[in-house]
Structure 1
Amino acid sequence: MKAAATGVGIEIDDGGLARVTLRRGEAGNAIDLDMARGLLDAARVCAREAVRVVLLTGEGKSFCVGGDLREFSRFSGEDLEKHLTAVTDALHDALRMFAASDAPVVAAVQGAVAGAGVGLAAAADVTLAADNASFTAAYTGIGYSPDAGVSWFLPRLVGPKRALDLLLTNRRVPAAEAAEIGLVSRVVSADRLAAEAAYTAEALRRGPTAALGATRRLVAAGLTTDLGAHLDHEARALVAAAASEAGREGVAAFLGKRTPDFTHVPPSS
């Protein structure tokens, strides 16, 4: 299945792998209103089609340089407020939908990653960075405060003190440091980024989607839930997973000394 929205492309193969691509490479994939709405449309398509994994990439030299300041500068006063509200509403709804899905999100990032681009990279479950990638919060440098979940994800990924350093000083973080502090999962050479991202996404596509979704939610909830409540959540999730078709297949494969086949199990099971 192929579909395209302004600034964003989405292609879903027969195996349930959704490739979501930012397609404003000539503008550094800066997020304008059309792209924000395109990401929301893509998230809706992924939810409707019950995909097994999402691979998020950006065309051109840079993954995403943040908001489209040229577009924003065309507005002022109440018009600017309305425009930015529309942009952030669409972008944030897209992030909510991707987070609520069982399907893991893999992001492959290269070149400049700034502002909301940092949010998209941080929101992914697995983020692969090319060795030429660099990350800059950028918001306060233009008198803005963060959006795209940046002020939520950064403290959880790198710690509050380091997050404030990045957010307040806007210093450039090269790929190697981004991996060291936990902003990205790992760094690969630029010429291997696409292949490594595809390999990772394919491995997750073959996985037990419902169990992957439960694991995503447990990790997110564990950051704000006390231990006793979290242990209860883990127990309920484990029982549900064990009783599922995927759980039975996984155990049967282990005991039979074979590779499990989770691809025949519907993602929502």
Structure 2
Amino acid sequence: MTTEDVLLRADTDGVRTLTLNRPKAYNSMTVELKERLLAALREAAADTSVRAIVLTGAGKAFCAGQDLKEHVGLLQAGDEAPLRTVADHYNPIVRAIVEAPKPVIAAVNGPAAGAGAAFAYAADLRIAASSATFLMAFAGVGLGPDSGASWTLQRLVGYGRAAELMLLGRPVDATEALRIGLIAEVVADEDLTAKAHEVAAQLAAGPTAAYAGIKRTLSLAAESTLAEALAAEDAIQTALGGTADHREAVEAFVGKRKPRRLRG
């Protein structure tokens, strides 16, 4: 494991775990942490030895969203950087999660609020500790949603529920999050790290190119007509049909054996 001040990185079994590491501040996002997280996500996406990514937080929180102390301090100093942070940081971070050509798992170890919750929504899978909560806190500070939450949340739970959670700023605990489809699984707090790694390692051992194709197809279909979605499926399926992973998987199925992953 290497420590980069506010961000921890660990590689095991083809899985890169990125841990937000400001536990005393509930892993709230400073400019430094945003820049380091964005760089780390892009690096993990480009590294062929990394086949799955886990995003989690240190301590008792996943991520409390924007560090408002830094935000107010910069505004009071006349620095306009906070007004650019959505374009400079949050939007690129969410795109890096969504567009990563490999699975991204959010291991939500505690409260996730604002942009922190939005990072979890942007992940491909969300596994939560029983102590996890989700809060769309934007209206409480006089702001609208950012970090893609307006796009991701309603696709997970529907427009009506997303509007309720954003307008009322009502926290959602892990039990409710599972019931409404916001997360895939709830585990005991002490089991979260192992469970997230187990799922990520399973994905890391699978056909990465196919996973990238699935992610791309789903993203395209979410904002396209049926005809456009069918065309995208055709194009991506044709490309995947030429990969070594596909040939090996088909041969293994016919031969009634477990496939070897060739990563190509």
Q: Report the TM-score, using the length of structure 2 for normalisation.
A: 0.94
CA contact (8 A) 2:62 2:108 kept: yes
> Which secondary structure does the structure 2 equivalent of 1:106 belong to?
strand
After TM superposition, give the deviation of residue 75 of structure 1 in Å: 2.3
3-state SS in 2 of match to 1:102: coil
- Alpha-carbon distance in structure 1 between the residues aligned to 2:213 and 2:222: 15
Bigger mean CA deviation after superposition, 41-50 or 225-234: 41-50
| 1:17 aligned to which of 6, 15, 20 | 15
1:233 corresponds to which letter in structure 2? Answer: A
Residue correspondence of structure 1 range 2-151 to structure 2 within 5 A? 3-13=2-12, 15-50=13-48, 51-76=50-75, 79-86=78-85, 88-151=87-150
Q: Distance in 2 between matches of 1:225 and 1:5?
A: 40
Structure 1 runs of 4+ aligned residues shifted over 6 Å read none
Which whole-Å CA distance do the structure 1 matches of 2:45 and 2:94 have between them? 12
Report the Cα distance in structure 1 between the residues aligned to 2:11 and 2:85, rounded to whole angstroms: 27
**Residues 75-96 of structure 1: CA deviation (Å, up to 9, x unaligned):** 2268353234146512321221
Q: Distance in 2 between matches of 1:88 and 1:61?
A: 29
Coordinate RMSD, CA, aligned: 1.7
Q: Does structure 1 retain, via aligned residues, the 8 Å contact 2:45–2:101?
A: no
Q: Distance in 1 between matches of 2:143 and 2:70?
A: 15
Change (3 A) 1:35 1:164: same
CA distance in 2, matches of 1:77, 1:23: 26
SS class of match (1:135): strand
Q: Matched residues in 2 for 1:255 and 1:113: separation?
A: 45
Q: Whole-Å Cα distance in 2 between the matches of residues 93 and 146 of structure 1?
A: 15
Instruction: Output the CA distance in 2 between the equivalents of 1:84 and 1:26.
Output: 25
Q: Which residue does 2:240 correspond to in 1?
A: 241
Gaps of 5+ in 1: none
Say which SS state the counterpart of residue 74 (structure 2) adopts: coil
Q: Which amino acid aligns with 1:19?
A: T
Unaligned runs of 5+ in 2: none
Letter in 2 for 1:27: A
Aligned-residue sequence identity (percent) comes to 37
> Do the aligned partners of residues 87 and 35 (structure 1) sit closer, same or farther apart at CA in structure 2, a change above 3 Å counting?
farther
SS of 1:167's equivalent in the other structure is helix
* Pair 1:129–1:185, CA change in 2 (3 A): same
